[in-house]
Amino acid sequence: MRTPICELLGIELPLLAFSHCRDVVAAVTNAGGLGVLGAASHTPEQLEHELRWIDDNVAGRPYGVDLIAPATYAGKGEGRDTVGLWDLIPDGHRKFVDELLAAHGVEPHDPPSAGQRHRPRLTEEHARECLDIAFAHPISLIANALGVPPAYMVERGKSAGVAVAALVGTKAHAVRQVEAGVDIIVAQGSEAGGHVGEVSTMVLVPEVVDAVRQVSAGGPPVPVLAAGGIVNGAQMAAALALGAAGVWTGSVWLTCEEAETAPATKAKFVAAGSSDTVRSRSRTGKPSRQLRSAWTDAWEDAAAPPALPMPVQSLLSEPALRRVDRLAESGHEGARELATYFVGQGVGLMNRVRPAREVVYTMAEEFAAAVERLGTLLDED
Amino acid sequence: MRTPICELLGIELPLLAFSHCRDVVAAVTNAGGLGVLGAASHTPEQLEHELRWIDDNVAGRPYGVDLIAPATYAGKGEGRDTVGLWDLIPDGHRKFVDELLAAHGVEPHDPPSAGQRHRPRLTEEHARECLDIAFAHPISLIANALGVPPAYMVERGKSAGVAVAALVGTKAHAVRQVEAGVDIIVAQGSEAGGHVGEVSTMVLVPEVVDAVRQVSAGGPPVPVLAAGGIVNGAQMAAALALGAAGVWTGSVWLTCEEAETAPATKAKFVAAGSSDTVRSRSRTGKPSRQLRSAWTDAWEDAAAPPALPMPVQSLLSEPALRRVDRLAESGHEGARELATYFVGQGVGLMNRVRPAREVVYTMAEEFAAAVERLGTLLDED
């Protein structure tokens, strides 16, 4: 099952696995795919720690790092730390969150104190620092999860011989990415977890493959990975039928044995159907897909305040939701109702907790079975 | 490329084509697929006329009819005609439409006069009458586009040996349909045109295939067709990789040479990208996907009145949009801005006007090419 992306990245299976959990990254890489560590929510110190662990556990096999290096965000260029950013949150928003938590029996969260003063994530400064750390390790891929990678990321990739990938939700963005020098396009359908656009995988992938082929005229086209809703090998075959060079997966790893997903949320994921997600600005300020919960319902209500711009909304939502996760784990009923996390519609197909390695092998088997079944249809003509 | 659905329906290609245009229905049937006439907006007299024409033009080859037999709707059991239903439209809604039209230089539409008094569509009475007509013709399939087919439809199909199909947007609905005795499930993803749910084709199809297999335990599973976003043969291969027995298509026929699509709207479809659709209640009262236009934008605005229930919203929107279509054809600028019609995200891949027959043959070739390309990947292992 080798495609051009396998040659480019030195992997056996055209399967990339995005995860915030180092164990998943190493397990997928060791099983023949490519694990990509999502580092947007790591501090630089945490990232260094995780990458060192991965280096010690993949025996030189290829892996990647995914960052969010946003082009525009609130407070850009103002040098605000987390305490300074907190001042950008209107009183009405703080009150809304406090009341939402209180209605579920959860204490309000305090504003960050001087002791919690640090450089905010989802900013250029944070991305640059993480990039320095990533490039000090033997990475094979660096990805930008939101928008065109900044020139400093593309140039760094080129000079180090590291493939630069970027996620897109529209054809127009794919063309801009190729023109900016990106090596791998991840066409991510609206059914994906996390930051997503509105076009589905079934339509977006062939549309992007065609557009990238046109804009690459002259040279070999930039490979396109399909993302969004893909959690099994039949879907992987479907993605390759659509013209993708491989698949980029995320949600499926959240219910792995190794995953760091909060236990109450993992249990919700296993029980959820595909209709149980919502695309909402309430977590990061940009539209992202996540499990529907009392938290997302409240923000979708007509009476809710509008989400704040990135990275301010995260400052409001993340500490509250981390507190919720801790309480949910101890059985707190209100916290269980609020608990949520990024996940795609593929959650409806994620019904068992398995080791990541088993997921990879099963996907490879399902892929082969689907392709053989399709071949039989042609043979019968 | 024969699948169980080919045996069941007596067709060569597992390709079903929904269209309101008899020429498309006949062309697809004659090219080896199965044309399905969408009759929800026909009067009984029109339906009889169209089916007679189809019988004269398909030489006994199989075709189907698609109705909307809604279980619940405004005015049910009250025996209101179109004039009586008009009374259910609040003044504020009439004023909103009149002002929207006026803002684009289009005259307001008058309430239906006594001369336009007829039985409203999208009601049980209309569906029953159309069903009588359909079953007087040699149809091979009868489909219900919205909800569980009523018992009178299922029983009629069983006794006449006509396959009963139904469209679903969730796993739970699919199970209910199978339990109600439906012979073919059409799992329609959110990217489809017309009435749609929220789960994408890539996720919904495997989820429904699995659920239907479980609920059919003991006998052969009810075949599942994939719908939503499918306009080419690579996507058809993808759908079959996902476990579908075939595909149900709709949007792709709207830009065929034969299509009755209003010319200004057809031109908009050819120019549109996949991001140019919107899922909105503004046309029929239930969420349906259509091309974004000044009409849909106005209804999506926070100041717009909420859509009315089916079939009242159609009484408000259809006459206005038919007037818009006529004006748009004559070059009226404001009408061109308002003009819209049901279409799926696949519109982004519909970039040429071709005969329906050519679309069928091209899809078959693309399907074979995609399957062969996938097979090559396995061979190289």
Tens digit of pLDDT for each residue in B127-136? 889 999 999 9
Q: What local confidence, expressed as pLDDT, does residue A84 receive? A: 84
Whether the predicted pLDDT of B144 surpasses 70? yes
Q: Taking residues B93-102, what's their average pLDDT?
A: 96
Q: Identify any residues that bridge with A143 across adjacent strands, giving them in sequence order.
A: A66, A165
Read off the amino acid at residue B41.
S
Q: Where are the domains of chain B?
A: 1-80+120-254+351-381, 93-118+261-349
Predicted complex ipTM:
0.95
Average pLDDT, chain B: 93
Whether the predicted pLDDT of B110 surpasses 80? no
Element (H, E) at A175: helix A171-179
User: Is the Cβ pair B273, A3 closer than 8 Å?
Assistant: no
Q: What is the pLDDT of residues A226-283, one digit of tens each?
A: 999 999 999 999 999 999 999 999 999 999 999 999 999 999 999 999 999 999 999 9
Q: What local confidence, expressed as pLDDT, does residue A380 receive? A: 57
Task: Count CB neighbours of B172 within 10 A.
Answer: 13
Best probe of the A interface among B6, B170, B202, B248, by most A CBs < 10 A, is B202
Residues 6+ apart with CB under 8 A from A369: A233, A234
Q: What local confidence, expressed as pLDDT, does residue A4 receive? A: 84
User: Is the Cβ pair B199, A191 closer than 8 Å?
Assistant: yes
Whether the predicted pLDDT of B120 surpasses 80? no
Measured distance CA(B62)–CA(B9) in Å, rounded = 7
Q: What local confidence, expressed as pLDDT, does residue B380 receive? A: 56
Q: For residues A261 and A340, is the Cβ–Cβ distance under 8 A?
A: no
User: Is the Cβ pair A191, B203 closer than 8 Å?
Assistant: yes
Q: Is A244 helix (H, G, I), strand (E, B) or coil?
A: coil
Q: Which of A5-9, B357-361, B376-380 comes out lowest in average pLDDT?
A: B376-380
Closest approach of B131 to chain A, Cα-based (Å):
32
pLDDT class of A311 with cuts at 50, 70, 90: confident
Q: What local confidence, expressed as pLDDT, does residue B81 receive? A: 79
Q: Taking residues B241-267, what's their average pLDDT?
A: 96
Q: What local confidence, expressed as pLDDT, does residue B148 receive? A: 87
Measured distance CA(A350)–CA(B368) in Å, rounded = 31
Whether the predicted pLDDT of B274 surpasses 90? yes
Tell me which of 3.50.50.60, 3.20.20.70, 3.30.1490.190, 3.40.50.150 is the CATH number of domain B1-80+120-254+351-381: 3.20.20.70
Measured distance CA(A374)–CA(B367) in Å, rounded = 10
Whether the predicted pLDDT of B311 surpasses 80? yes
Q: What is the pLDDT of residues B167-192, one digit of tens each?
A: 999 999 999 999 999 999 999 999 99
Whether the predicted pLDDT of A120 surpasses 80? no
pLDDT class of B255 with cuts at 50, 70, 90: very high
User: Is the Cβ pair B200, A345 closer than 8 Å?
Assistant: yes
Q: Taking residues B93-118, what's their average pLDDT?
A: 87
The CATH superfamily of A1-77+120-257+351-381 is: Aldolase class I (3.20.20.70)
User: Is the Cβ pair A235, B198 closer than 8 Å?
Assistant: no
Measured distance CA(B226)–CA(B215) in Å, rounded = 18
Which residues of chain B have a CB within 8 Å of the CB of A2? 377, 380-381
DSSP state letters, B190-256: TTSSEE--SS-HHHHHHHHHHHHHHHTTTSPPPPEEEESS--SHHHHHHHHHTT-SEEEE-GGGGGB
Q: What local confidence, expressed as pLDDT, does residue A197 receive? A: 96
pLDDT class of B257 with cuts at 50, 70, 90: very high
Per the model's pLDDT, the better-predicted residue between B255 and A78 turns out to be B255
Structure tokens at B133: 């007509």
Per the model's pLDDT, the better-predicted residue between B380 and B234 turns out to be B234
Residues 6+ apart with CB under 8 A from B114: B83
Residues 6+ apart with CB under 8 A from A375: B371, B374, B375
